[in-house]
Amino acid sequence: MTCIVAVTNQKGGVGKTTTAINLAAAIALRKKKTLLIDLDPQSNATIAFFETADIHTSMYDVFSDRPAEMAAIIRPTKDANLFVAPSRLALAKLEQQLAGQFDAPFKLKDAMTPIQHEYEYIVIDTPPALGILTVNALVAATHLLVPIQAAYFAIEGTDDLLETFGRIRSRPNPALKILGVVITLFDKRTNISRDTHEQIRAVFGEALFKTRISKNVRLEESPAYKETIFSYAPKSTGAEEYRKLAQEVLQRVQEDRVARHTQDAA
């Protein structure tokens, strides 16, 4: 079964896109065929791989009234195991266009059905809002991964996210699970980072990944060169930490599969 991870937090600037890109890349480097879906109209994940001028078809076409097949918009990357479904600014129009359509929350799930078995992992980058695009990601996903920035007010707003998670689970997607919470932009020299780490651990407990993503300028630079952290600065702290995070993710997914299997057998 394909593992579909939605990387979500309605706050902007918390490391969603950086995490989506580099987690997908780290999984692909472990020879697992991986698809990164960019659902943010700001298209930061897309621009980290391609020139905007080269993007003629995108997720916007998939959501349109005469939908394109996802297979037609997915693009290969320099990494043979990593593929990207690009976004365009036009995606911002969907909040209005889809309003009132009864199947609006299911568009992504339906579009993914014919192609998802081709991938072992699908990572979805979401916009900084709990609107229709994020809801589509949560309806289509098997797992939710929440990046939280180590900063004051870090967990403010996570209750809204958890409430949305609960509502999605109660109806459209009862199988959705929290894969984990990852602390991002961590700076071990500051009290703020250490305090928020404790606070986040107190709130999320076991869900918190052991791996923290530190502030690392290489992570900020790599998208400008259309590189992932693994080709841009393979020995950097950023590369090392995202490799570790990927390892934890794969381990949790594996444990989850075993648990489901045992449940099914019982």
Residues 6+ apart with CB under 8 A from 55: 43, 46, 86, 88
d(CA 36, CA 75): 10
- Amino acid at position 5, single letter: V
Residues 6+ apart with CB under 8 A from 3: 120, 121, 122, 142, 143, 253
- Amino acid at position 140, single letter: A
Q: Which stretch binds ligand ADP (CB under 6 A): 27-35, 59-67, 167-175, 210-218?
A: 210-218
6 DSSP 8-state letter:
E
- Amino acid at position 224, single letter: A
Q: Is 179 a binder of ligand ADP (CB under 6 A)?
A: no
Residue 120: how many CA atoms within 13 Å on its side-chain side? 15
Indicate the residue among 115 and 129 with the shorter CB distance to ligand ADP. Answer: 129
Which residue's structure tokens are 């998939």?
62
Per-residue contact track with Mg ion, 17 to 36, x per CB under 5 A? x-------------------
Question: Residue 222 touches which of ligand ADP, Mg ion, none (CB < 5 to 8 A by kind)?
Answer: none
Q: Which stretch binds ligand ADP (CB under 6 A): 11-19, 59-67, 86-94, 161-169?
A: 11-19
Indicate the residue among 35 and 182 with the shorter CB distance to ligand ADP. Answer: 182
Per-residue contact track with Mg ion, 39 to 78, x per CB under 5 A? -----x----------------------------------
Q: Is 11 a binder of Mg ion (CB under 5 A)?
A: no
Q: Is 98 a binder of ligand ADP (CB under 6 A)?
A: no
Asked if 94 and 133 touch (Cβ cutoff 8 Å), the reply is yes
> CB 74 → ligand ADP: shortest distance, Å?
21
> CB 117 → ligand ADP: shortest distance, Å?
28
Kindly tell me which residue out of 69, 160, 187, 220 binds ligand ADP, with binding defined by CB under 6 A: 220
Indicate the residue among 88 and 120 with the shorter CB distance to Mg ion. Answer: 88
d(CA 20, CA 7): 6
Q: How far is CA 74 from the centre of its chain?
A: 16
Q: Is 184 a binder of ligand ADP (CB under 6 A)?
A: yes
Helix, strand, or coil (residue 142) = coil
> CB 118 → Mg ion: shortest distance, Å?
25
d(CA 89, CA 133): 13
| List of residues contacting ligand ADP (CB under 6 A) | 12-18, 44, 128, 184-185, 213, 215-216, 219-220
| List of residues contacting Mg ion (CB under 5 A) | 16-17, 44
